[in-house]
Amino acid sequence: MNRTELQKEISEAGLKVTPQRIAILEALVELANHPTVDEIIAHIKEHHPSIATGTVYKTLETMKDKGLIMRVITDKQVMRYDAVLHRHHHLYNSETGRIEDYHDEELNQMLEEYFKKKNIENFKVKDLKLYITGEFLDN
């Protein structure tokens, strides 16, 4: 995703295109694995030293509301963000806090199929996310 595409995305979400917003969205794309706000700021600071913490928080909140990015849920108390929006799941190690995306089209279809048939009383399903907890076997 290059700069022009990022600008287009921001603009199409009805937001003004500012250098800060481009930098934040870019950071989110480059830091592929669910960065915390701190990690985002650290990454941006290299090329954009004067960005304010508050701005990053406000911007992430705005982008989340506009559907440009999403929050990843964890059992820790820092928020993590993700710019990957198509349906995917997560591998999660609760002890280390490490999270990785898990893409599995077959799983998506199986789940979709299942909930098309199954009716949950009093609930309208919008999205399905599987959290696969366990241990990473590399490093």
Which residue among 52, 71, 109, 112 contacts its own copies (CB under 8 A)? 71
Least CB distance to DNA at residue 34 (A):
12
Site stretch for its own copies (CB under 8 A), options 16-24, 25-33, 45-53, 117-125:
117-125
Site for its own copies (CB under 8 A): which residue of 14, 54, 75, 119? 75
- The alpha carbon of 122 is separated from its chain's Cα centroid by a whole number of angstroms, namely 28
- With CB under 8 A as the contact rule, the residue among 1, 73, 109, 112 that binds its own copies is 73
Q: Which stretch binds its own copies (CB under 8 A): 9-17, 21-29, 43-51, 114-122?
A: 114-122
User: Of these, 19, 113, 128, 132, which contacts DNA (CB under 7 A)?
Assistant: 19
Q: Smallest gap, in angstroms, from Cβ of residue 112 to DNA?
A: 31
Alpha-carbon torsion, ordered 3, 12, 14, 71, to 10 deg: -70
Classify 122 as helix, strand or coil. Answer: coil
Site for DNA contains 94 (CB under 7 A): no
CA 11, CA 27: separation in Å to the nearest integer?
17
Beta bridge partners of 82: 70
Distance CA 2, CA 67 (A): 19
| CA gap 69, 85 in Å, rounded | 7
8 binds its own copies (CB under 8 A): no
